[in-house]
Amino acid sequence: MMGRVCVILKHPDDIYPLMKLKIAARHAEKQIPPEPHWAFCYRMLHKVSRSFALVIQQLPAELRNAVCIFYLVLRALDTVEDDTSIPTDVKVPILTAFHHHIYDCDWHFSCGAKDYKVLMDQFHLVSTAFLELGKSYQEAIEDITKRMGAGMAKFICKEVETIDDYDEYCHYVAGLVGLGLSKLFHASGSEDLASDYLSNSMGLFLQKTNIIRDYLEDINEIPKSRMFWPREIWRKYVNKLEDLKYEENSEKAVQCLNNMVTNALMHVEDCLKYMAALRDPSIFRFCAIPQIMAIGTLALCYNNIEVFLGVVKMRRGLTAKVIDRTKMMADVYGAFFDFSCLLKSKVNKSDPNATRTLSRLEAVQKTCRDSGVLNNRKSYIVRSEPRYNSALIVMLFIVLSILFAYLNAKRPNN
């Protein structure tokens, strides 16, 4: 608790967006549909997706239902993939037949833990909701589930050796989500059909950021560690991937990390191009918010030894600010510009990839500048000196404590 207070004291301008976010989240919780299967799906979405639930909630109703089910189906598939206690000969057939299981309201397979286990045990409710979607939505979801399941199965017994393997794996688990979403947006009648290439890049950028940030969590996975960093990259720095977490290798570890970040940055311009072509404001926000969070996370991880010691996460307040301020393409260019500046300031001349990293960042900044919309905006990183005095802080805290107490007291299960 004291930690949170200190964070807020350092960033007083986080307070307003945090309050807004809290209110939006409560509002979303209240909008759960009355039918039991849809109620289950939306409740599950809120529980299992830390960041996607809120942005999905803002989509137009019909598309929202399709995206919600798309998310839950793939999350269930991923729960099977991620459960390292399932033997390969059991797991592979489930992954490759998953696109059939979604049509079968009697099918279920128990695995995963906590909320994921509930999702798996009650999967018939997801199937029931899936069968109520329009045919074009169903077909898009089925097609992506089939291809993702086959791709996951392929990588169950295969290590990520080369950078091509890495891009291929990320294509299966996230690039395909991008392709599927583009199809769903198009089917809803709100957007032109985006190219597969750009849709794939949207997913790759998000997935690579996750893989970088989750190094320690994945390597420490029980009973068997999971390794997604490609050997082609890490072998230049260490003999075994797990050596990166040992203190004696910290210099090499950070260099390897920076190499991984530089690799992820390759997708930024494709992502900007994809987002610039979107028309519907709610679809735009749905796509842009995760992308800004990703570049923010990369900026936080770059040259940061903490990635090998625990989980590095963006401040809740900064997340809230991103959600609050992302309305149009100018906001995206602004955010990408800011985080590129922050990244640039962290690049060490002595890093083996410094030149490559800097030229990537300069290309990103040029794209943002050439958009011609970078003036007159609040920055995410260059904070002007806080303009408040201690009396104001005390006042704010009193107001905040009352508000938080009020909001928590009104929570049904607390």
Q: Which residues are catalytic?
A: 169, 213, 226, 286
Diameter over CA atoms, the chain: 65
- Number of Cβ within a 10 Å radius of residue 128: 16
Region binding ligand D61 by CB under 6 A among candidate stretches 200-208, 262-270, 301-309, 319-327 = 200-208
Q: What is the dihedral of CA 357, 360, 365, 368, to 10 degrees?
A: -140
Q: Does 210 bind ligand D61 (CB under 6 A)?
A: yes
Region binding Mg ion by CB under 5 A among candidate stretches 72-80, 208-216, 217-225, 248-256 = 72-80
Judged by CB, which is closer to ligand D61: 17, or 203? 203
Q: Does 287 bind ligand D61 (CB under 6 A)?
A: yes
Token readout for 134 is 């329009």
Binding string, residues 215-254; x marks residues near ligand D61 by CB under 6 A: ----------------------------------------
Q: Does 198 bind ligand D61 (CB under 6 A)?
A: no
Q: Residue 174 has what DSSP assignment?
A: I
Region binding ligand D61 by CB under 6 A among candidate stretches 65-73, 256-264, 308-316, 346-354 = 65-73
Q: Does 206 bind ligand D61 (CB under 6 A)?
A: yes
Q: Does 78 bind Mg ion (CB under 5 A)?
A: yes
Contact 75, 102 (CB under 8 A): no
Residue of 260, 284, 259 lying closest to 272 (CA atoms): 284
Measured distance CA(224)–CA(215) in Å, rounded: 14
Binding string, residues 22-61; x marks residues near Mg ion by CB under 5 A: ----------------------------------------
Contact 338, 307 (CB under 8 A): no
Distances, alpha carbon 7 to alpha carbons 197, 315, 382, in Å: 40, 8, 17
In the complex, the residues that contact ligand D61 under the rule CB under 6 A are 52, 67, 70-71, 74-75, 78, 82, 173-174, 177-178, 181, 202-203, 206-207, 210, 286-287, 290
